[in-house]
Amino acid sequence: MEIIQVVIFSLLSTIIIVLLRAHRPEIAVQASLMAGIIIFALIVSKIAPIFDFIRIYSGKANLNIQYLPVLIKIIGIAYITEFGAEVCRDAGENGIASKVELAGKIIIAMLAVPIVTTLLELIIRIMP
Amino acid sequence: MDIDVIFKIAAVGILVSILNAVLKQSGRDELAMLTTLSGLILVLLMVAKEIVNLFNLIKTMFQF
Quote the CA–CA distance of B53 and B55 in Å, as a whole number. Answer: 6
Cα distances from B11 to residues B15, B42, B54, in angstroms, run: 6, 12, 23
CB A39 within 8 A of CB B3: no
- Give the ipTM of the model, two decimals please: 0.81
At residue B1 the predicted structure's pLDDT band, cuts being 50, 70 and 90, is low
| Nearest CA-CA partner of A30 in A15, A43, A17, A19 | A17
- Residue A83 is predicted with a pLDDT of 92
CB A114 within 8 A of CB A68: no
- Give percent of chain B above pLDDT 70: 97
Helix (H, G, I), strand (E, B) or coil at A24: coil
Query: Is A27 within 8 Å of B40 when comparing Cβ atoms?
Result: yes
Nearest-10 Cα torsion for A109, A114, A115, A120? 100
Of B46, B53, B62, the CB nearest to A73: B62
Chosen from B42, B60, B61 to mutate, greatest number of chain A CBs within 10 A: B61
Write down the H helix ranges in chain B.
Answer: 4-25, 29-61
For B25, the domain range is 4-61
Query: How much is the pTM?
Result: 0.81
Q: Is the pLDDT of residue B64 over 70?
A: no
Amino acid identity, residue A70?
Answer: V
Q: How many distinct structural domains can be found in chain B?
A: 1
User: What stretch of H or E contains B28?
Assistant: none
Quote the CA–CA distance of A79 and A91 in Å, as a whole number. Answer: 19
CB A27 within 8 A of CB B39: yes
CB pairs under 8 A between A and B: 90
Mean pLDDT per 10-residue section of chain A, whose length is 128 residues: 90 92 89 91 87 87 81 91 93 94 96 91 89
- Residue B2 is predicted with a pLDDT of 77
A76 touches B at CB < 8 Å: yes
